[in-house]
Chain A
Amino acid sequence: MHETDMTKALILTVRDWLAEQPGHPAIEKVHLTVGEFTCVEPASLQFAFDAQTQGTFLDGAELVIEETPLIAFCHRCQQEYRPEVGLQYACVSCQSPMDDIRSGRELRIGRVEFSQKAPSQETPRKTPSQETSYAPNI
């Protein structure tokens, strides 16, 4: 279950970012890009995210996963092609090895969406550094 570790990494990255922001923004969505040619299963990641963010500053935030397809470029044919994961990786036209991957290796936190309360309405709230319910061990 390396998705658990990946989720921890995700939470820590967002927490570090949040700690540098003025005010107390509330994270609403986290956008993640997951390539087809990685060892990550988006459904497991979604499950891990929902479970591991409970009771933390990300509780209730939505994880939006964009999946990117595996696309390779064949230098001999000078064209892109779509390898079939599990079956065929060499160029479909000339059988050259899959040397150049153009898409599908992404594991990237793209952007976050957050809301900022107006200062007058602000209610006291724990800052991320004071969170005690999430104790990462990575």
Chain B
Amino acid sequence: MHQTFDAALEMNLLHANQHGAEENRDRLNKWGITCLNLMSSPGSGKTQLLEQTLQLLQSELRMAVIEGDMTTQLDADRLRQHEVPVIAINTGRACHLDSKMVAGGLHQFAHEQTPQDFDLMFVENVGNLVCPAEFEVGEHAKVALLSITEGEDKPLKYPIMFREADCLLITKTDLAPYLDVDIENIISNVRQLNSKVVVIPVSAKTGEGLESWCDWVKQFVSNQSGAAKNLVTAS
């Protein structure tokens, strides 16, 4: 006789990725490293922003980068010129980094460097406004970038990324005079989805806003390492 049974699994589809992300975060916490996950569509200026940021913060923070790229080393090579360790991860056809790929990157980082000597790890995700938002990699905060050339409606059309972001950089503000884009409209569209996100308009070309961005990074790293110390003391 054919009998059918039912079993409840009630598991998150992304359970395995989530679990890996937590392991990565634990590892980073033990090293005393804060991790920021940078996400945006292709060409919104993640690498350019990182180049400027590495330059501006090099005397204050010890930094490293995990660079996600589908096939090339082009971005990684640009960042290596700033004399920080850069771990390149080619995702192949995958359109985002996942926690397992980043675990591999951290493993390589630990093999090549002394992780305890570092304060901050940037993860530059694959350029994509959709997928990276669903795949945590072990970051302490998500930083989204949106260049003003992409248009005011992008937060409405790609809501998950902007909903999840802790900090939003509106990039390429130097192009504002040439475009019919109102930065205030971008901000109010983002606010519909996320009342807490810190919004900083920047131009990596002119330097506008980079001081505010660097201040945010320093403050975040300092809060994070304070929290990690408390955690260690408490346990």
Q: How many residues of A contact B (CB 8 A)?
A: 38
B84 within 8 A of A: no
Cβ–Cβ contact A115 & B2, under 8 A: yes
Please, how many angstroms separate the alpha-carbon atoms of A107 and B133 in the complex? 14
A-B contact count (CB 8 A): 103
A48 within 8 A of B: no
Interchain CB contact (< 8 A) of B157 among A13, A86, A108: A86
Contact string against A for B residues 1-31, beta-carbon threshold 8 Å, 1 for contact and 0 otherwise? 1111111111111111100000000000000
Interchain CB contact (< 8 A) of B11 among A28, A85, A108, A115: A108
Cβ–Cβ contact A17 & B8, under 8 A: no
Please, how many angstroms separate the alpha-carbon atoms of A25 and B2 in the complex? 12
Cβ–Cβ contact B192 & A107, under 8 A: no
Cβ–Cβ contact A9 & B13, under 8 A: yes
Please, how many angstroms separate the alpha-carbon atoms of A25 and B16 in the complex? 23
A47 within 8 A of B: no
Interchain CB contact (< 8 A) of B10 among A2, A110, A138: A110
A1 within 8 A of B: yes
B41 within 8 A of A: no
Cβ–Cβ contact B10 & A109, under 8 A: yes
Which of B60-68, B95-103, B174-182, B209-217 lies at the interface?
A: B95-103
- Of all chain B residues, which has the CB nearest A14? B9
Cβ–Cβ contact B11 & A13, under 8 A: yes
Cβ–Cβ contact B95 & A110, under 8 A: no
Interchain CB contact (< 8 A) of A17 among B7, B134, B160: B7
> Beyond A9-B14, A115-B2, is A2–B9 a contact (Cβ under 8 Å)?
no
- Of all chain A residues, which has the CB nearest B196? A99
Q: How many residues of B contact A (CB 8 A)?
A: 38
Please, how many angstroms separate the alpha-carbon atoms of A14 and B192 in the complex? 38
Cβ–Cβ contact B10 & A113, under 8 A: no
Please, how many angstroms separate the alpha-carbon atoms of A109 and B17 in the complex? 15
Residues of A within 8 A of B13 (CB): 6, 9-10, 13, 32, 107-109
> Beyond A2-B95, A2-B96, A112-B9, is A97–B14 a contact (Cβ under 8 Å)?
no
B194 within 8 A of A: yes
Residues of A within 8 A of B160 (CB): 37-39
Residues of chain B from 76 to 103 with CB closer than 8 A to chain A in the complex: 93-96, 98, 100
Cβ–Cβ contact B159 & A113, under 8 A: no
Cβ–Cβ contact A9 & B95, under 8 A: no
Q: Assuming A1-B93, A2-B95, A97-B192, what are 13 further A-B pairs, CB within 8 angstroms?
A: A1-B95, A2-B131, A2-B135, A9-B15, A9-B16, A37-B160, A38-B134, A39-B131, A86-B157, A98-B193, A107-B14, A108-B10, A109-B12
Question: Which A-B residue pairs are the 3 nearest by beta carbons?
Answer: A97-B195, A107-B13, A90-B192
Q: Enumerate chain B interface residues (CB-CB to A < 8 A).
A: 1-17, 93-96, 98, 100, 130-131, 133-135, 156-157, 159-160, 163, 191-195
